[in-house]
Amino acid sequence: MATANTPRKILVTSALPYANGSIHLGHLVEYIQTDIWVRYQKMQGNIVHYVCADDTHGTPIMLRAEKEGITPEALIDGVHKEHLADFSEFLVAFDNYHSTNAPENKELSESIYKKLKANGKIATKTIEQFYDPVKNMFLPDRFIKGECPKCHAKDQYGDSCEVCGATYNPTELINAYSAVSGAAPIRKETEHYFFKLSECEQFLKDWTRSGTLQGEAANKMGEWFENGLNDWDISRDAPYFGFEIPDAPGKYFYVWLDAPIGYMASFKNLCQAKGLDFDEYWSNDSKTELYHFIGKDILYFHALFWPATLEFSGHRKPTQIFAHGFLTVNGEKMSKSRGTFITARSYLDHVKNPEYLRYYYAAKINSTMEDIDLSLDDFVARVNSDLVGKYINIASRTAGFINKRFDGKLAPSVNNVVVNEIKLSAQTIAENYEIREYGKALREIMRLADAANGFVAEKAPWVIAKQAGQDAVLQQVCSDALEMFRLLTLYLKPVLPKLAENIEKFLNIASLSWNSVDSSLVQDHTINAYEHLITRIDPKLIETMTEANKENLQATAAPQAHSEQHHAAHQQNEANAEIAEAEYISIDDFTKVDLRIAKIVSAEHVEGAEKLLKLTLDIGEDKPRQVFAGIKSAYDPATLIGRLTVMVANLAPRKMKFGLSEGMVLAASDEQGGPFILSPDAGATLGMRVK
RNA sequence: GGUGAUGUAGCUCAGCUGGUUAGAGCACAGGAUUCAUAAUCCUGGGGUCGAGGGUUCAAGUCCCUCUUUCACCA
């Protein structure tokens, strides 16, 4: 723990989001995780700079701008504004949010490259690559498509097959074509620049095993050393949106070279604004601390290329890399068809309060690379129960007495067993924040909130309030409870900064920092009137949000070209899942549908309905089902009675204008004609399962 | 295909170096209470710890095989 007299100097980064898409709930895991840590460190009195930037270079940005008929600069400008607005509304408090397409980054990238070159770490090599003869550009693997050489699935990407999972070289694809122009790519030689990573092996072996990585991350890195490190291709040919390599016309830095340098550039930009000393944080002998929060998908960029780049260009290396897992929603990958691919903006539009999500994520976040699950039902239950029912309730149930009976004035001093217990946990909670075990910290805080509520229940101030001459006791009990509430607010402040601010106003106290644990609500202190500080989440909001995020897959049949770079990996992988999902369902998905042979017991017209017939269907249950079917145009009710057909028996009953519909009858139709209802072959009897 | 992770009550998760009847919150059931945003307090039911082998006096915890889910493969 930091001691009060020597504040630590810490530079913190989150991974740079790619300027090719919107921020979604998956991204936010990382920014919220980092922001909590930064806020905690600042509360401890440490000097912390939290910087980030948009990652703006590469082929996907170039092509998208072209498609939209604007310059890449205009594209990334718009995205920058959007990203920054999303982050600020989620209370992610960057000290600087910059761009990789900035003068500081150009200058730093060039100078680092020159130092690497001077240190003999740059080589050139002629390689053969696929080239789009129509578009006149070299194609990254992800922009070449064709038939999988193993399973012969069509339209697979140049590096791996989404259907059978095989990985291969783009040269192995059958009938390859360019995803950009559709033309058959030709092979063409080109000179590329390489960073001689192979010469950095010993340095990296030591570095990755020196406590800079989580255990499982270090294990993962181990596999790279088993086969020996290859040199890293750091150049791309024009046309490319990025920085041109000095003395190499037509050659550009690969986006992954200048992206992490973007951390430095953003900080340099901050230094200029605030008069900070850049070298104090980045020189080889820096005494400051540097931490990168990243997703597990981009571990090797940060644990291999990046430290090697820093080492051989004469800079300090990261103190530690903190990799986290991915987000699943309701236990599965985020999905557009299920409406769980939720953007930051959509959450803000529907649920509004960002602190609910911050709290829920914090309750799940730990120091490992395990994935975390956003279970939407659990989200509602947990936030309502923990934040409203337990925590806020402490103030809500005691402040009234203080305001009404004592004009807001608290007891002269505060001291009891539970307050002391809560104070004693400060160290444990701080340690858990420090090591990014937020879930553990919050569990402890909620345990203390339970203790506070137990204290109030035991003292029963509502009973004391009715006893004559017990005013001082009543005042004491409620003051004690509010002191507990103050301490819990302090502990929760890194997670819930806005709520904490409102509570500071309510309690009429100065901004809480970690050493506020040692003080307490003092003599003759007067609080303000209590107003509701937070409202419960209405589960309907969640439903509306997922409905609003559901996308019709047919409407988006043409998937976007995949990114060659991995900042956008979250989106990439979700998009992949989407493709597979559109083409196949699992047998489990199918068996969820309970199809039954049904006998049409009666059929009649529905007064006032243009398309509907009211059917009564017998599937062998006690009572026949009432179903409204849109088949009036094709069938005379009289001819239907007595027929067997197929119905979906476990469709959720739906209230319609004309009554309750308890199932669905299957029928075929298209523009040519229909609907045509189905009939089973002779032998099928009512109630039989169709499978 | 290879590699690293992962699978514990209905749900979300704790379980450190193997050691008494496997824990918490939510949900559920019963009781108490009414200060509080139907919040709170007490009590209770509920798990063959992914599957199968093995090591050990003793395994959720170690080893092997299989399997689920996630990620990475320059």
Residue A254's pLDDT is: 95
Whether residue A376 contacts residue A330, with contact meaning beta carbons closer than 8 Å, is answered with yes
Q: Let me know: does A254 contact A244? Beta carbons within 8 Å.
A: no
Higher pLDDT, A492 or A560: A492
Query: What is the DSSP track for A155-188?
Result: SEESSB-TTT--B--GGG-EEEEETTT-PPPEEE
In this complex, which residue's CA is closest to the C1' atom of nucleotide B71? A297
**Model pLDDT, residue A671:** 39
Q: CB-hemisphere CA count at 13 Å for A509?
A: 24
For residue A636, pLDDT over 80 is answered with no
Nucleotide closest to residue A458 (CA–C1'): B41
Q: Give distance CA A346 / C1' B24 (Å).
A: 33
Question: Distance from residue A169 (CA) to nucleotide B52 (C1'), in Å?
Answer: 38
- Average the pLDDT over A313-323 and give the result: 96
Amino acid identity at A396: S
Phi then psi dihedrals of residue A505, to 5 deg: -65, -45
- What pLDDT, on the 0 to 100 scale, is given for residue A430? 96
Rounded distance in angstroms from the CA atom of residue A362 to the C1' atom of nucleotide B27: 22
The integer distance in angstroms from the CA atom of A468 to the C1' atom of B57 is 66
Residue A371 predicted with pLDDT over 90: yes
Tell me what pLDDT residue A655 has.
55
pLDDT at A608: 55
- Sign, CA dihedral A642-A644-A645-A646, equals positive
- Residue indicated by tokens 């070299």: A138
pLDDT at A317 over 60: yes
The structure tokens listed for A614 are 């009211």
Which candidate, A203, A211, A212, A208, places its Cα nearest to that of A220? Answer: A208
Highest mean pLDDT (candidates A173-177, A530-534, A620-624): A530-534
Nearest nt to the CA of A160 via C1' is B73
- Residue A497 has a pLDDT of 98
- Range of lowest pLDDT (A203-207, A594-598, A674-678): A674-678
Protein residue at shortest CA distance from C1' of B1: A166
Which is higher by pLDDT, A525 or A674? A525
Angle between helices A393-406 and A471-492 (to 10 degrees): 140
- Total residues found in chain A within this entry: 691
Mean pLDDT of A318-333: 93
Tell me what the mean pLDDT of segment A199-213 comes to. Answer: 92
Nucleotide with C1' nearest the A232 CA: B74
Q: pLDDT at residue A582 above 70?
A: no
DSSP SS3 for A603: strand
Beta A235-237 vs A232-233: how paired, if at all? unpaired
A348 pLDDT higher than 60: yes
Question: Is it the case that residue A623 has pLDDT exceeding 90?
Answer: no
Which nucleotide is nearest to A401 if distance is taken from CA to C1'? B35
Rounded-to-integer distance, Cα A69 and Cα A73, Å = 12
Inform me whether the pLDDT recorded for A564 exceeds 60: no
- At A99, phi and psi to the nearest 5? -140, 150
Q: What is the pLDDT of residue A488?
A: 97
Assess whether pLDDT exceeds 80 at residue A577.
no
By C1' distance from the Cα of A197, the closest nucleotide is B74
- Which residue did the predictor score with more confidence, A489 or A670? A489
pLDDT of A4 strictly over 60: no
More confident residue, A607 or A187: A187
Which of A134-143, A147-156, A179-188, A203-212 comes out lowest in average pLDDT?
A147-156
Question: Which nucleotides on chain B have any atom < 7 A from a protein Cβ?
Answer: 1-6, 11-15, 24-27, 33-37, 39-42, 69-74
Residue keyed to tokens 């980054």: A105
Stated in angstroms, how far is A639 CA from B71 C1'? Answer: 58
Contact call for residues A627 and A664 (beta carbons, < 8 A): yes
pLDDT digits (tens, 9 = 90+) for A232-278: 999 999 999 999 999 999 999 999 999 999 999 999 999 999 999 99
Å from A369 (CA) to B66 (C1')?
A: 25
pLDDT of residue A514: 97
Look at residue A330 and tell me whether its pLDDT is greater than 60. yes
Query: Does A633 have pLDDT greater than 70?
Result: no
| pTM over 0.90, yes/no | no
* Distance in angstroms: CA A95, C1' B67: 47
What pLDDT is attached to residue A570? 31
Nucleotide nearest to A572 (CA to C1'): B71
Cis peptide preceding A72, ω within 30 of 0: no
pLDDT by residue (tens digit) across A445-483?
A: 999 999 999 999 999 999 999 999 999 999 999 999 999
Which residues does residue A676 pair with via DSSP β-bridges, in sequence order? A668
**At residue A555, does pLDDT exceed 50?**
no
Q: Is the pLDDT of residue A574 over 50?
A: no
Grade residue A583 by pLDDT with cuts at 50, 70 and 90.
very low
Tell me the CA–C1' distance in angstroms for A79 and B20.
60
Helix (H) or strand (E) holding A123: strand A122-132
Report the pLDDT value the prediction gives residue A158, as an integer from 0 to 100. 78
Say yes or no to pLDDT of A571 above 60.
no
pLDDT band of residue A163 (cuts 50, 70, 90) is: low
Average pLDDT over residues A286-293: 97
Residue A522 — very low, low, confident or very high, per pLDDT cuts 50/70/90? confident
Residue in A647, A590, A657 with CA at minimum distance from that of residue A618:
A647
Q: Quick count: other Cβ atoms within 10 Å of Cβ A654?
A: 12
**What percent of chain A stands above pLDDT 90?**
65
Average pLDDT, chain A: 87
Residue A659 has pLDDT above 70, yes or no: no
Could you tell me if A314 and A284 are in contact, meaning their C-beta atoms sit under 8 angstroms apart? yes
The answer to whether residue A193 scores a pLDDT higher than 80 is yes
Of the CA atoms within 13 Å of residue A481, those in its CB half-sphere come to: 30
Assembly ipTM:
0.95
Cα–Cα distances in angstroms (integers) from residue A550 to residues A129, A309, A339, A569, A621, in the given order: 39, 43, 4, 21, 35
Least confident of A75-79, A103-107, A354-358, A547-551: A547-551
